[in-house]
Amino acid sequence: MLYMKPKFASKLDGCADYACIFGLVKAAVEAVLGSRRAGLSLGLADLPLSVGALHQLGSNFIIMNRILLNHVLDACDRRLANAYIFHVLLHEYVHSLGVADERETDGLVLGVTEAVLGRDHPAYAIAAHGIESLISRIGVPAAAAAHQRMGTISVIDDFETENLNYFG
């Protein structure tokens, strides 16, 4: 394996923004699956709680559920919050590579997570048991549980800069 698990886990645990975590997602996928792509953007939107994030095949957007994300950021320490963000971005990144089947995606996410982080990292527990395992542990505010419609999308600046050199 190209990454030593403790080193990769330490990098993830120390990330302070989405771009850092997404850079690790891309590195992990390339190291384990040998695949990569550039040109993705991240948006945050209020989504129903049954949707952690989404990526429409063929698009350049990953949209994370702002309600769940904010709750995780409020209720969890940085390590667990980064594990959650890593898992969600990894799942959607695998979809962006053309994998449409959810079971196949879940299997690939679990394999990549285990390879780069190991079974002791909280991201592995999320990959193995689903986001619901984390949410059921930290609970969900009642107002969030009642939300059922997609809200305005907020685009995250400087999420991926790999392809910006082409416009210089």
Asked whether 160 and 40 are in contact (CB, 8 A), the reply is yes
- Which stretches of the chain score pLDDT less than 70? 1-4, 141-152, 161-168
Those residues with Cβ within 8 angstroms of residue 71's Cβ, 6 or more apart along the chain or in another chain: 135, 138, 140, 141, 144
Domain borders along the chain are 5-160
**What pTM value is reported for the model?**
0.87
- Residue 32: per-residue pLDDT: 96
The model's pLDDT over 42-60, given as tens digits with 9 standing for 90+, comes to 999 988 877 889 998 888 9
- Residue 144: per-residue pLDDT: 58
- Residue 155: per-residue pLDDT: 72
- Residue 76: per-residue pLDDT: 94
